[in-house]
Amino acid sequence: MSISLARPIDPMIPRTLFDSDHEAFRATARRFFEQEVVPNIERYEQQQHVDRSLWNKAGELGLLCATMPEEYGGSGVDRLYSMILIEEQGYAMDSSSGMSLHSDIVANYINNFGTHEQKLEWLPKMATGEVVGAIAMTEPGTGSDLQGVRTTAVLDGDDYVVNGSKIFITNGYLCDMAVVVVKTGNTEKGSSNLSLLIIDAKSPGFSKGKPLNKVGMKGQDTCELFFDNVRVPKANLLGMEGMGFIMLMKELAWERLIVAIICQAGAEAAFAQTLQYVKERKAFGKTVMSFQNTRFKLAEMRTDIDMGRAYVDRCMQMQLTESLAIEAAAAAKYKISEMFSKVVDECVQLHGGYGYMLEYPIARAYIDNRANRIYAGTNEIMKELISRSL
């Protein structure tokens, strides 16, 4: 990419979350994105997935599964490290790598609900990048309404036999393993029919579709997974049968906050990129920055971004003590993803025609950001959750 990336400017209210160890990790993460990812983004977009070797490189640098316990290959550090990695991905304006989903969601399920043997089998390999993880909930016929899942797992001897399919699965194309939501029961209470199975991608009958042709996030591998009489050892059941829904609920606040963190960083990056552009670009013999409209737009954006930053940082602080309420995290996911969309739209406008050209990172941010309002629970579902707390 020929356009240089600008670093985000400091917020008006200083951040207070990080210590010097966090900052050292940030420097490693930043170098990783600048050197290993950014130069390859266009290629990732053409092939519709990152290079498999990128995962191993991230593992070598200690960037994967850092929050997992040391005995399972992680570094046993706090979730601010996850936040830093996500932020640095956002500041690099990269939407190709699905590392947070792998480390902060998939590994987290195994660590929270797995047996010692399951953790030993999967987590160390996930930390080195030898195994890429996916989480497969959504199906062609159901997304928001998880209780409508149709992929079945029927016990036969010591194995479950799994049949069905999943769609829109991040890391699906390169995954070596997926935590899959399956229907194990047929009771009237739909939520008690769901279970989580760890399925090895090498299992006979497990197949993957081609990466899906998305509007944006073109370098991120997203695909369909198919299960045709896949035999999965009973020992691969996560937690207890019928407890899938409850397990999925446990970390929802964190999963929603992850999207808010991505969007907050994305908005800060888009703003910085635009500030750099309007200071250089000239029209009518002056810089675009000098027009009152530009300065007012920038002032409005900076205000929205800094309000978001204060809320997200506070959520993060509460998440560290596991005291973040579901509705507060839902509000962060909903509002910060909308703020990102609004900011990036204004940023494209301030770039003029160049803002519509994909060689400019702002144009890519424009098409990439849209998915944030859809995945990890749509923003309508977020509003539903917030309203339920009233």
Ligand X SMILES: Cc1cc2nc3c(=O)[nH]c(=O)nc-3n(C[C@H](O)[C@H](O)[C@H](O)COP(=O)(O)OP(=O)(O)OC[C@H]3O[C@@H](n4cnc5c(N)ncnc54)[C@H](O)[C@@H]3O)c2cc1C
Active site residue 70: no
Alpha-carbon span 347 to 350, nearest angstrom: 5
Strand runs (DSSP E) across 206-339, as ranges?
206-208, 222-233, 237-238, 282-283, 286-287
Query: Interface residues with ligand X (CB under 6 A)?
Result: 135-138, 142-144, 168-170, 214, 217, 222, 371, 374-375, 377-378, 380-381, 384
Q: Cβ closer to ligand X: 167 or 272? A: 167
CB of 116 to ligand X, least distance (A): 27
Of 255, 268, 322, 338, catalytic:
255
CB-based contact 32:61 (threshold 8 Å): yes
Instruction: Return d(Cα 210, Cα 202) in angstroms, integer.
Output: 17
Q: How far is the CB of 215 from ligand X (least distance, A)?
A: 9
In angstroms and rounded to an integer, the radius of gyration of the C-alpha atoms of the chain is 21
**Among 125, 103, 120, 115, which residue's Cα sits nearest to residue 201?**
125
Residue found by looking up tokens 């390999």 in the block: 125
Give the nearest residue (CB) to ligand X: 143
**Residue 214: what are its φ and ψ, rounded to 5°?**
-90, 165
- Residue number, 49 or 309, with CB nearest to ligand X: 49
DSSP string, 95-121: -S--HHIIIIIIHHHHHHH--HHHHHH
Give the strand pairing for 206-208 and 152-156: unpaired
DSSP-derived letter for residue 193 is G
Smallest separation (angstroms) from ligand X to the CB of 135: 5
Q: Quick one: 259 or 288, whose CB is closer to ligand X?
A: 259
Q: Cβ(76)–Cβ(82) under 8 Å?
A: no
Closest CB 126 distance from ligand X, rounded Å: 15
Q: At its nearest, how many Å lie between ligand X and the CB of residue 288?
A: 33
The residues assigned a catalytic role are 255
